[in-house]
Amino acid sequence: MPKRHNLLIAALLCTCSLMIAAPACAHHSRAMFDQTKQIILVGTVKDFQWTNPHCWIQVLVPDPTNPQAAAAEWGIEMGAPVELMRKGWKPGSLNPGDKVTIIANPLRDGQPGGLVVSVTGPDGKIIGHPAAPGSRAP
């Protein structure tokens, strides 16, 4: 089993919130993710998919209690490429073999997948930055 901790409830309830006449969530509902929970995945990038409508990180997560077992593959959903670029990501921000630590909201159905909250890269730094009015991408 991958290392999995429930962290503090972030209370980021996606209400897609009540805007009349037009959906507020990009592309689709996120209700399949449990946004009251966060998990930490420590593993190795298998694939970084810089694609529409969403980018994905495929990450191989070994079981620290059983090093002989095969690593579990997790799929972590992100925003669209244009959204990530605005937050400092680039198509080459991650490459296969990179060691990463990912915080994510897990899928409700127990499948090995989640919605990204943050990604720490091989250099120990969080990749990207939150968008803010007036800020500029590097």
Partner 1 sequence: MNLKSALIAALVLFTCVPFTRAQNLNSKTRVAAFAKLPDWSGMWESDAFVGQADGQQFSEDALKRMKARAESMRPSFTPEYQAKYDEIKKSIQAAIAADPNHPPSTHQPLCGSPPFPATATPGMFEWRVTPEETTFISTVGAVRHIYTDGRSHPSKDLLWPTLMGDSIGHWEGETLVVDTIATRRRIYIGELTGFFAPMSDQLQFTERIRMVDHDQMQIDYTVEDPIALTKPIHSVITYVRVTDFDRMIEEADCEENERDPVVNGRFTTVTH
To the nearest whole angstrom, how small is the minimum distance from the Cβ of residue 12 to partner 1?
5
Nearer to partner 1, 82 or 123 (CB): 82
Binding site for partner 1 (CB under 8 A): 12, 14-32, 35, 49, 51-54, 56, 58, 73-75, 77-87, 89, 104-105, 107-113, 115-119, 128, 130-137
To the nearest whole angstrom, how small is the minimum distance from the Cβ of residue 51 to partner 1?
4
Buried b / exposed e across 104-132, counting CB within 10 Å, b at 16+?
bbbbeeeebbbbbbebbbeeeeebbeeee
Phi then psi for residue 22, to 5 deg, are -160, 130
To the nearest whole angstrom, how small is the minimum distance from the Cβ of residue 64 to partner 1?
21
CA distance 40 to 44: 13
Residue with tokens 């909250």: 117
Q: Where are the alpha helices (DSSP H) in 11-88?
A: 81-86
Residue with tokens 């991650």: 94
To the nearest whole angstrom, how small is the minimum distance from the Cβ of residue 98 to partner 1?
16
Nearer to partner 1, 77 or 98 (CB): 77
Nearer to partner 1, 42 or 117 (CB): 117
